[in-house]
Structure formats: structure tokens, C-alpha cells
Amino acid sequence: MNIKETTRKYVMDTYGRFDLVLARGSGCILYDDAGKGYIDFASGIAVNDLGYNNGLINEAIISQAKKLIHVSNYFYTEPQALLAEKLCKSSFADKVFFCNSGAESIEGAIKLARIYSQKISKRGHKIIAMQNSFHGRTFGALSATGQSKYHKGFEPLLDGFAHVKFNDFEAVNEAIEGAEGKDYCAVIVEPVQGEGGVNLADKNYLKRLRELTAKNDVLLIFDEVQAGLGRTGKLFAYMNFDVEPDIMTLAKPLAGGLPMGAVLAKDGVAKAFEPGSHASTFGGGPLVAAAANAFFDEISKEGFLEEVCKTGEYMKSKLDGLKAGFAGLIKDVRSIGLISAIEFYSIKAKDAAVELIGEGFLTTAVQENILRFTPPLIIKKNDIDLFAEAVAKVLAKKEKNEPR
Ligand SMILES: Cc1ncc(COP(=O)(O)O)c(C=O)c1O
């Protein structure tokens, strides 16, 4: 079978795919169908945080599959109970709702915010979201997303989202303290805007948002679908900012590569949901929950996140070196833990990603001129050295052709 042709013929054309068929993976290396290896600086889209063919994840999935893959949420299962306890005991939250993806976790968060408003805070249904944010492709998540390129062709979107400038406290303050402030029930923000280009929130901004929202009984929602669960070097991204949200969304790496999302909240907020309010057929099923327990146990092990911080610092030093060496091509580098990006002046990120594939490295083009790196959290310094050399090689070629 010609895999590319068959895919193009039968799968809807929603992805700009690279010209690569991936067949298997091991550690931080993916292999194509001809057996050529690529060092992964993408991890899917920030998913495969323990790399490929991880023994702990495999063992958890295989042993759980032999016991029970699925039962409905009308019954209790041990993997779900264990995972919920771990997530709550290690975060600000008291309760969790399980779903299957990042977008679904956002839908859950929006519904929880609205019902909390109707039943408890008695405010309106509107939500303040950030420009340049990304929350997913379903209608609620899409409406929360502050990038019009994703909206095009799908309007009208869900009513009630106001988008304000990221990191601009006054913009949120004006909305909440303004004449129509009572209309707003929540503020949703990514502490690190991943798809937006690895833009970090200011610590003081989040702190002031926390004070403002708490004062007005407006819920503060952190979307940690991409930056949560160890990616920033802390278990949850909010821990870098010393600010706790009322609701947090998780997904991507949560179940070691299987689809899973979660909405976490404090008791006082979670109590707005009651049996029948919200549901998911597959959410928190025993197979994905078993994989998630294995993943969570691994990243919670003593020393694991310290190592992520160290490797992250190393990656940052290499990116800073590239910026110094290619000052005419690189406008900025940004990073926290093991999520980082290079912003180019004019080089197309997609072109750079294609050239890096030629050098044996996988990356993600997130904006026109922004290339993002989210390697597995187990990436080694040696791989980072090879990666920096490859980026330097690609940029040296570009320097000849594309001076600033
Ligand atoms: C911050 C954030 N929220 C939500 C989503 C949507 O997740 P999913 O693609 O699993 O629906 C993403 C995906 O990139 C994301 O980065």
C-alpha cells in the first residue's frame, strides 16, 4: 500500500502533513518506514513526554487491557479513583472530571464556570479570554481561542467571549470592574501560551488577576493542557507563578500518549456540578487511567522534575547561543523548562521544520515565524547538542539566502 496516497485519498484534508511516514519509536527517536531515525523535539504535539516504547506505560496498558478496558461511569473503577486522588493531592484541586482531550477539558471548564455562575456566584455567562490564546477546535474551545485564523469559516461562534490582550492586567480589570462587569463569570488564561509561540505570563499579572477575580467571585481558569504535568519543570505550570486557579484543564501527556483530558477544581466550584450536569462515555476509563497512573507516578518520582529543570536550562543556554550566533535571523528565544521557541525575523517556521527533518530532527511550526520545541521530558544533553548543531547548520544556509 502507498500510505501517503491512501491517506490523501481517504482521510479528510485537515492537516498540512510533513512528507514522512512514521513507523515506530524508541526513547526520543522516531523511525520512518525506511528505518531512518529522527530525534524528536515535538513529542507528537507535546504529548509523548516519556518518549516512545516506554516500558512503564506499555506494562500499565497491557496489564490493564487484560483486566478491563472499558466500563461506563455508572460504576467505580480503581485506576480512576487512584488517578483522581493523585491529581488532587498534588495540586490546588479537590475534585476532577475526566474527559478525552484538551478541547473537551475546555468545554468542561466552560460548562462548570457557567453553572457555577447560575447557581452560586449569580453573575452572567460571559468569559474573558486572551488574544493569541489556543484552547482547541470544538465550538466552546474555539470561541475561547483568541486567534481569528482558527475561527474563519465557522462563525457564528459561541456567544459570550471577550478577548483581551495577554499580560495586560488593566484590560481585564476594566472589563470586570466596568459597567457590564457582572456579565463575566470567569477568566481563562494559559500561564504559558504554547500554540501562541511560548509566551509566558508575567508573575505579577497572574497575581493581580488572582486578586481581582477572587474579590469579584469570578473564576480563574488556567489552561494547562500543553504546559501542565512537568513540561515547565514543575508538576503544574501555575507552580512557577505562585498563583492558584479555581479551575485547571489538563490533557496531552496525561495518559502517556492515550487520549485523556481532565478538569480540576476546588470543592466550592466543583459542587456546582451534580449527577447529570456533565458526562463523558469514555472519560477516565480504566485503560487510559491506568496509563495515566503510570505516567503520573514517573514524573512524580524524586528527582524527575529537577532533571527536567536542568535539561531545560541546558536547552535554554543552547538557544541563547544560537540567538547570539544568528542575531540577524533570530528575533527572540523563549523558554521555560522543556518548552521553548525560536522566533525568526522572516524565516518561515514551516520551512525551518522541513529542513530540520532533513537533518533528522522533528519540531513544530506554531506561528508563521515561530518554531517550537517540546522534546520528551527524558531528552538528554547529548541530543540537545546534536539538535543545536543541526539548527545552526540550517540557519547558516539560510543566512546566505535570507539576510534580515
Ligand atoms: C493550551 C491548549 N489547550 C487546548 C488544546 C486542545 O487540545 P486537543 O487538541 O487535545 O483538543 C491545546 C492543543 O494544542 C492546547 O495547546
CB 230 within 8 A of CB 199: no
Give me ligand 1 centre to Cα 303, in Å: 28
Give me ligand 1 centre to Cα 274, in Å: 26
What's the start-to-end Cα distance of the chain, in Å?
A: 44
What is the distance between the alpha carbons of residues 345 and 254, in angstroms, rounded to a whole number? 34
Q: Which residues in the chain come in under a pLDDT of 70?
A: 402-404
pLDDT for the residue 172: 98
% of the chain exceeding 70 in pLDDT? 99
Within 119-241, residue ranges assigned H as helices are: 139-144, 169-177, 203-216
Give Cα 129 to chain centroid, integer Å: 16
What is the distance between the alpha carbons of residues 344 and 325, in angstroms, rounded to a whole number? 13
CB 339 within 8 A of CB 359: no
Grid cell for residue 271:
459542587
Ranges of each domain in the chain: 3-53+303-401, 55-300
pLDDT for the residue 68: 98
Give me ligand 1 centre to Cα 268, in Å: 26
The answer to whether the Cα torsion of 177, 145, 103, 43 is positive or negative is negative
Ligand 1 pocket, residues with Cβ under 6 angstroms:
45, 101-103, 106, 134-136, 190, 194-195, 223, 225-226, 251
pLDDT for the residue 402: 59
3-state secondary structure of 221: strand
Per residue in 353-380, pLDDT (tens digit) is: 999 999 999 999 999 999 999 999 999 9
Give me ligand 1 centre to Cα 108, in Å: 13
3-state secondary structure of 129: strand
Give Cα 183 to chain centroid, integer Å: 28
Give me the residues paired with residue 251 across strands.
Answer: none
Ligand 1, atom nearest to 138 Cα = 11
pLDDT for the residue 157: 97
CATH assignment of 3-53+303-401?
3.90.1150.10
Beta-carbon-side half-sphere exposure of residue 203 (alpha carbons within 13 Å): 4
What is the distance between the alpha carbons of residues 404 and 38, in angstroms, rounded to a whole number? 30
> Could you tell me which of 25, 100, 89, 112 has the C-alpha nearest to residue 254?
100
Q: Which residues, 6 or more positions from 155, have their beta carbon under 8 angstroms from its beta carbon?
A: none
What is the distance between the alpha carbons of residues 244 and 210, in angstroms, rounded to a whole number? 8
pLDDT for the residue 401: 78
Within 117-202, residue ranges assigned H as helices are: 139-144, 169-177
Helix, strand, coil percentages in the chain from 3-state DSSP, rounded to 5: 40, 20, 40
pLDDT for the residue 400: 83
CATH class name, domain 55-300: alpha beta
User: Position of cell 485564523?
Assistant: 149
Mutate to test the pocket of ligand 1, among 49, 252, 288 (most ligand atoms within 8 A of CB): 252
